[in-house]
Structure 1
Amino acid sequence: MSDTPLKNRILLDVLNGKPTDRPPVWMMRQAGRYLPEYMELREKYSFFERVKTPELACEITLQPIDIVGVDAAILFSDILVILECLGVEVQLKPGFGPLIPQPIRSKKDMDRIDIKPARESLSYVYDALRVTRQELNGRVPLIGFAGGPWTLFCYLAEGQGSKTFSKAKQFLFSDPVSAHQVLKMLTEQTIEYFHEQVKAGAQVLQVFESWAAALGPDDFVNHAMPYLKEIVDQDYGVPVILFAKDAEWSYRQFQKTNVNGFGISWGCSPEDARSYTGGKVVQGNYDPSKLLSSPKIIEKEVHEMIDRFGADHYIANLGHGILPDVPVDNAKAFVNAVKNYRK
């Protein structure tokens, strides 16, 4: 890993409570599908070839730094790679999305789980982090990430993406003891995974609990929140951002944890976000679809967004991942609007 001092520290400064002239800016899913340079690599290599080849993952991670000018790099990877730690095969089918041929939906299915420590089974992720940190050479900090246990459980039990995750919820509600055993396994592997990511060069960590809203509030508190708290309350030695999409109301119960920042989706107003997070850093929440408007409108709305959140203790970002049909110039307009903002 490179020990080169950071030239651009603005993201780390905000997460560590230091004053800055403007908010930092990066975009979820910034490394990928809206960039022509990425599409060229996609034509040559399958998704998991890109993820599991450290040099390719590094190249893709660096593309938005070079092209769009964001204040941080986030490793090109996928939240589902950690399911390998349970001996579960994950496929990615073009035009369909992730597919798990043998989902875990019952106590009987759990007999197929074969725990392989994250330290050993995800070495390609750590290699990609090391290579990327070296290639960044201190330009911007490097973000590592993992999925939240409930979100991972959703895919593991459903076997694919879903609007309702009814099979995952059936497993949870019909056999909560077994389901919680699986959630506990995922939590333990994620904690180890995060520690290893930091050893390999990650300077910030983000938890993506993308399907938080698939559970009602009481069920989220009972079945998902304890595992999230266990993950974020570890001492990793780097700042941690929690993104529980569309469950921002839950952040009140994370105010006293080790979380440094909270991700906000576009369904939550800046004012509500501030009330939920108790003065901690908030990150978000521009609707990715609005990047399909004109650069002039994007600039105006981004400045209004910052004004509403307040420029202090704030990271400009999208409310979810960037869409594949966003013009690169519009992504640049979003980033430049933040960079041109002054308190």
Structure 2
Amino acid sequence: MGDWSRIRTVRVDGLKYHAHRFAVAPMMDWTDRHCRFLHRQLSGRALLYTEMVVADAVIHGDRQRLLGFDACEHPVALQLGGSDPAKLADAARIGAAFGYDEINLNVGCPSDRVQSGTFGACLMKSPALVSDCVDAMKQVVEIPVTVKCRLGVDDQDIETALDELADGVFTRGADALWVHARKAWLEGLSPKENRDIPPLDYERVYRLKARYPHWFIGLNGGINTLHEAELHLGHVDGVMLGRAAYHTPALLAGVDRLLSHGKASQADLTTVIDAMAEYAGQHIAAGGRLSHVTRHMVGLFHGRPGARRYRQILSTEATHANAGPEVLHEAFSVVAVASDAQAA
């Protein structure tokens, strides 16, 4: 894709404006560097996020493995998990030195692992601590520091809980607040159920934006199409897609046209396959496996002729220990032939 500039924070009509209006959500076990490379081939303008990385792991772990990324992924944000302001500051400093364009604090993940560490969505109950974490990170990095949160957790009143969190983080300098428009139930629902069962309340996020006209408010949760994203952009500053972008990544090919009001070209999937095959070859040469890359590509041709056979090839042949990029070309050829036959 093109050489896009890094995240900027500029003033537009009084709004402290986060330069990227469309983002792919951070998703545990999904948005690794291989997934992000694919998504970047489809959109040059979408802001990409890492999986959540715990601050302690950044400080004490294998940083190249945890934080390494391809230069083409810019703009790319590092999402951190943690609740210790000093540790988060250290991790943010390390992330900035690696070249990330943004540091994001996770205040929305309801997983058991996060609850046991007293961070993620648990932090909705401690807005003052979240503010301290934001302030600590802002003190040590020059890139934007943002927060991703829920409407509230458990029995919290979403009107007061979300306002209190927003008040605190913006007062301490947060550059953007991304809101997953659901409550999280830490008691009684699994992490998977927390993605579907608590009802979505987009209007609550719209009200938050009306309360903060000069600060960036982004919306996440249940957005499945670019048409839906465009409608939300009439009320908030940014939209973030998660599972829809992962399971049907081809929809990202339309993001640049959406953001440019039809002026940008749409990614060609033949070119995308060629780029991914070359990338996979490099990954294999470095000791990796083809399936590390192709597992993120299974849904690329969802709904198109030949998609079922394409998925079968990637789900079986690409998992063999000696599988190479030719498997990806083989899978794509099935789609190409089926598309040609349909056109004829």
TM-score where L is the length of structure 2: 0.48
Higher Cα radius of gyration? 2
Structure whose residues are more often strand by fraction = 2
